[in-house]
Copies of this chain bind each other. A is one copy, B any other.
Amino acid sequence: MSHDNSTKEYSISDLAEEFDVTTRTIRFYEDKGMIHPERRGQTRVFLARDRVRLKLILRGKRLGFTLKEICEIIDMYDDVAGEKGQLNLLLEKIKIRRTELEEKRRDLDAAEQELIEVEGRISARMKELGLS
């Protein structure tokens, strides 16, 4: 077994197309130290690891985190290899982030409920006005 680890490669425009962002965006993220593609000559070569990171970044953005926050969150994934004291701190950080996510979930639930209510009011109004 060459324990393959999915050694596929991607160009910058491969990823840009797949995730519907511009190449500028990807280069910007590299500039900020959020992705670390390899180089073949001067050309960037992205591996599975980079692709995962990009996916995480974009997900973070959809959830309303800033790039700085996203950095902090993603960096946690790599910090599991620390020693005792570090790990306790890391657990604390994770707890805080999970609390944030729960708050977002409550916001999400509330927002969805309101849309559902508006739909209800619209249906009622449409029946009032005639047939649907």
Contacts and interface: CB of A to CB of B under 8 A. Distances in A.
Task: Choose among A81, A91, A122 the residue with the greatest number of B CB atoms under 10 Å from its CB.
Answer: A122
Give the size range of A's interface with the partner.
Answer: 35 or more
Copies per complex of this chain: 2
Contacts of A119: 91, 94
A84 B115 contact: no
Interface in A75-127: 76-77, 80-81, 83-84, 87, 90-91, 94, 97-98, 101, 103-105, 107-108, 110-112, 114-115, 118-119, 121-122, 125-126
Contacts of A62: 64, 103-104, 107
Contacts of A121: 80
B101 A108 contact: yes
Nearest to A77: B118
